[in-house]
Amino acid sequence: MPAVLDKSHGWFRRWFRKVWKVRGGGLYALGFAVTFIIFEVQSFADDVMGIGSLFNGQAIEFIVQVIVDSFVNTWLALLWPLYVVRFAPPWGAIGLGVVFFVFATHIKGPLERWMFADMPLDENSEEEKKES
């Protein structure tokens, strides 16, 4: 797994860094990103099945559907803790609490070091000043 983290960079790291900052930089941000990707892949698979509509003169409808799906997926991804809790009550809620604790104590530090490894400390603080 460390080899994958070392080699991943570019647009994915920049996108994930932005999501991380906007969503507060914790397990919630990570859960949002993972849930959003899962929903987008599922929607994309459904959209690919309907790609025949492009050849029937329904290109605008297809593009609008992709945009609407992405918007809906964003809102659904914001609710990811509810999916975990509903998965196996009450164990889902207990597991979510344990994961929040473990994440804060053992996972957040290494993950942030990976995300911001290509940014010098001065650049990171300047970027935060620009966003405030």
Q: What count of residues does the chain have? A: 132
Closest CA to 29 of 14, 47, 17, 12: 17
> Is the pLDDT at 6 greater than 70, yes or no?
no
Q: How confident is the model at residue 132, as a pLDDT?
A: 47
Number of Cβ atoms within 10 Å of the Cβ of 25? 16
pLDDT per residue as tens digits for the range 85-107: 998 888 989 999 999 899 888 88
Kindly indicate the confidence band of residue 53, based on its pLDDT and cuts at 50, 70 and 90: low
> Is the pLDDT at 78 greater than 80, yes or no?
yes
Mean pLDDT of 105-128: 69
Mean pLDDT of 65-90: 90
> Is the pLDDT at 68 greater than 60, yes or no?
yes
Number of Cβ atoms within 10 Å of the Cβ of 47? 16
Q: Render 62-116 in DSSP notation, one character per residue.
A: HHHHHHHHHHHHHHHHHTHHHHHHHHSTTHHHHHHHHHHHHIIIIIHHHHHHHHT
Domain ranges in the chain? 2-131
Give the angle subtended at the CA of 9 by the CAs of 20 and 120, to the nearest 5°.
70
